[in-house]
C-alpha cells in the first residue's frame, strides 16, 4: 500500500503569499503514517448525492458524467452531447450544471440538469464554454468563456455569468490573461478562480462589486488551480514545488494555508470535494490512474465501488441532510415540509422539525413567518 510516507505542514518560512500579499509561513515535514490508509472496510461516505466524471484520456473525448443517489444507484448523465464532465450541484440535488461538447455544434457548452431534464444553456454561442459553477442562491452560473483571437492565434479566456432563468450572459473579465475554474464564495460576493500568466496559475479572488482582482495564492514556478469553497474555507490544488509537479490539495482557512494530511510528493491528490468539516472526497493517483477517495477526517479509503481503470475526477457532493426546505428529513423539499413547518410555527404539539436549519431560508439563525414565505415561494418556483 502506498502512502506510508506523508507530507505534513509545520510552520516554517517559505515563498508564497496570501492575501493581502503578506508572506505566509509553511513547510513540509515527512512523517510515517500507515494508520491514515485503510485497505478494506474504510469509512462510509455520508448519505448524499455524488457527481463525478470518468475518462480514459482527455483527448479521447470519452468522459462520462455519473450521479450517485443516496440509495446507492449510479446513473450515467447522457443526452445529445459527448465528453461530459465537471458536474456542480445547485441549490438542490435535483439541479446540477456540467460542461460537455454539443454533438451537433461540436462546441463546448454549459448544460443544466433539472429534475432529470437536460438543457444546453449556451447552444450555438460560437464560444467555448467550460467550468460551470452555480452561485449560492442558484440563480446564476459562473463559467469560463473563450473566443478565438486571430491576432494572438489562440483562445482568449474570460469569466462569464449566466442568468439561469433568462440565459442572458454577462462577461465579467476582458483581458488576455486566462481566467479559469471559477467558484463562488459562500456569500456570493466573490468569485475565486485560477488566473494564468506564462502557463502558471495563481489563485485569485474577483470582487463582483467593484470588479477587481486580488491574488490569494501565488508561488514562483508553481501551478495553482481548481479553487473550491466550503463555508469559510477555500481549497485549491497546487504543485508540490517548481521541480516536483505532484498535485497537493491546500486548505486556506483565514490567513493560514495548510496542506491536507494525505498529500504526498510521490503522487497526485486533487479535485477537493468537501463533505463536512475536514471530511472530503478527492481524486488521487496513489494506486495508478486517478481514483476517488474519501477522507473521513482520520483515514483515507478508496471509493472502490465507483472506481474503474479509467480516471475518476471532478467530484461534487450534496449532503442528504442539507436539502433546503426539507424539515421532515426525507431528502426532498415538498408540500409536506411546508405543512409541517406551518404547524410548528403555530406551536402544534405534534409538529417536530427533524432538521430546523433547512427551514431557515433567510439564513438568520431563527425560524419565523419570513422563512415560511420564502419556503412557499421557493416551492412554487420549483
Instruction: Give me the residues that bind Ca ion (CB under 5 A), please.
Output: 158, 173, 175, 177, 179, 289, 291, 307, 312, 326, 328, 330, 337, 360, 362, 364, 371
| Residue 37 to residue 3: CA distance in whole angstroms | 7
- Provide, rounded to whole angstroms, the least separation between the CB of residue 153 and Ca ion: 16
Question: 331 exposed, middle or buried (CB, 10 Å; 0-12, 13-18, 19+)?
Answer: middle
Of 372, 272, 277, 376, which is closest to residue 319 (Cα–Cα)?
277
- Provide, rounded to whole angstroms, the least separation between the CB of residue 281 and Ca ion: 14
- Provide, rounded to whole angstroms, the least separation between the CB of residue 370 and Ca ion: 6
Name which of 47 and 364 has its Cβ closer to Ca ion: 364
- Provide, rounded to whole angstroms, the least separation between the CB of residue 275 and Ca ion: 20
Of 259, 220, 272, 236, which is closest to residue 10 (Cα–Cα)?
259
Helical segments of 276-362, H only: 335-345
Name which of 287 and 299 has its Cβ closer to Ca ion: 287
How far is C-alpha 325 from the geometric centre of its chain's CA atoms? 22
DSSP string, 64-120: EEEEE-TTS-EEEE-SSEEEEEEEEE-SSTTEEEEEEEETTTTEEEEEEEETTEEEE
- Provide, rounded to whole angstroms, the least separation between the CB of residue 63 and Ca ion: 13
Name which of 130 and 371 has its Cβ closer to Ca ion: 371
How far is C-alpha 374 from the geometric centre of its chain's CA atoms? 26
Name which of 265 and 289 has its Cβ closer to Ca ion: 289
At 147, list the grid cell. 473566443
Helix, strand, coil fractions of the chain, as percent rounded to 5: 10, 50, 40
- Provide, rounded to whole angstroms, the least separation between the CB of residue 339 and Ca ion: 10
- Provide, rounded to whole angstroms, the least separation between the CB of residue 194 and Ca ion: 11
- Helix (H/G/I), strand (E/B), else coil: 371: helix
Name which of 219 and 337 has its Cβ closer to Ca ion: 337
- Provide, rounded to whole angstroms, the least separation between the CB of residue 109 and Ca ion: 20
Phi, psi of 335 (to 5 degrees): -60, -30
User: Cβ(337)–Cβ(375) under 8 Å?
Assistant: yes
- Provide, rounded to whole angstroms, the least separation between the CB of residue 39 and Ca ion: 16
Name which of 112 and 313 has its Cβ closer to Ca ion: 313
Name which of 34 and 175 has its Cβ closer to Ca ion: 175
Phi, psi of 211 (to 5 degrees): -75, 90
At 211, list the grid cell. 470588479
Name which of 218 and 328 has its Cβ closer to Ca ion: 328
Enumerate the β-bridge partners of residue 224: 238
Name which of 102 and 291 has its Cβ closer to Ca ion: 291
| Residue 82 to residue 56: CA distance in whole angstroms | 13
Handedness of CA 228, 111, 284, 74 (dihedral sign): positive
Task: Report cis status (omega within 30 of 0) of the bond before 198.
Answer: no
Residue nearest to Ca ion according to CB distances in the complex: 362
Amino acid at each position: 500500500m502506498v502512502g506510508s510516507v506523508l507530507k505534513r505542514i509545520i510552520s516554517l518560512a517559505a515563498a508564497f503569499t496570501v492575501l493581502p500579499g503578506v508572506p505566509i509561513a509553511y513547510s513540509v515535514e515527512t512523517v510515517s503514517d500507515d494508520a491514515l490508509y485503510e485497505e478494506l472496510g474504510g469509512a462510509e461516505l455520508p448519505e448524499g448525492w455524488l457527481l463525478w466524471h470518468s475518462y480514459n484520456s482527455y483527448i479521447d473525448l470519452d468522459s462520462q458524467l455519473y450521479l450517485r443517489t443516496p440509495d446507492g444507484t449510479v446513473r450515467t448523465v447522457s443526452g445529445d452531447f459527448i465528453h461530459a464532465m465537471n458536474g456542480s450541484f445547485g441549490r438542490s440535488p435535483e439541479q446540477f450544471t456540467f460542461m460537455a461538447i454539443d454533438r451537433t455544434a461540436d462546441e463546448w457548452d454549459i448544460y443544466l440538469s433539472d429534475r432529470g431534464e437536460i438543457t444546453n444553456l449556451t447552444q450555438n454561442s460560437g464560444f467555448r464554454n467550460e467550468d460551470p459553477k452555480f452561485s449560492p442562491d442558484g440563480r446564476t452560473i459562473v463559467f469560463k468563456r473563450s473566443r478565438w483571437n486571430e491576432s494572438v492565434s489562440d483562445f482568449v479566456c474570460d469569466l462569464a455569468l449566466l442568468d439561469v432563468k433568462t440565459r442572458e450572459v454577462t462577461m465579467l473579465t476582458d483581458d488576455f490573461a486566462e481566467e479559469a475554474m471559477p467558484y463562488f464564495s459562500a456569500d456570493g460576493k466573490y468569485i475565486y478562480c485560477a488566473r494564468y500568466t506564462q502557463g502558471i496559475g495563481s489563485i485569485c479572488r474577483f470582487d463582483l462589486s467593484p470588479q477587481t482582482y486580488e491574488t490569494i495564492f501565488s508561488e514562483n514556478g508553481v501551478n495553482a488551480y481548481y479553487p473550491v469553497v466550503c463555508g469559510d474555507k477555500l481549497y485549491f490544488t497546487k504543485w508540490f514545488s517548481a521541480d516536483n509537479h505532484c498535485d497537493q490539495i491546500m486548505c486556506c482557512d483565514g490567513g493560514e494555508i495548510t496542506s491536507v494530511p494525505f498529500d504526498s510528493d510521490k503522487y497526485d491528490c486533487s479535485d477537493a470535494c468537501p463533505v463536512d468539516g475536514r471530511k472530503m472526497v478527492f481524486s488521487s493517483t496513489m494506486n495508478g490512474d486517478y481514483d476517488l477517495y474519501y477522507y473521513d477526517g482520520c483515514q483515507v479509503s478508496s471509493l472502490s465501488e465507483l472506481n474503474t481503470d479509467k480516471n475518476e475526477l471532478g467530484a461534487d457532493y450534496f449532503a442528504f441532510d442539507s436539502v433546503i426546505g426539507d424539515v421532515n428529513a426525507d431528502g426532498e423539499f415538498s408540500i409536506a415540509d411546508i405543512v409541517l413547518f406551518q404547524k410548528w410555527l403555530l406551536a402544534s404539539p405534534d409538529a417536530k422539525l427533524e432538521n430546523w436549519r433547512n427551514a431557515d431560508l433567510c439564513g438568520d439563525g431563527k425560524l419565523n413567518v419570513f422563512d415560511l414565505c420564502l419556503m412557499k415561494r421557493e416551492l412554487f418556483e420549483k
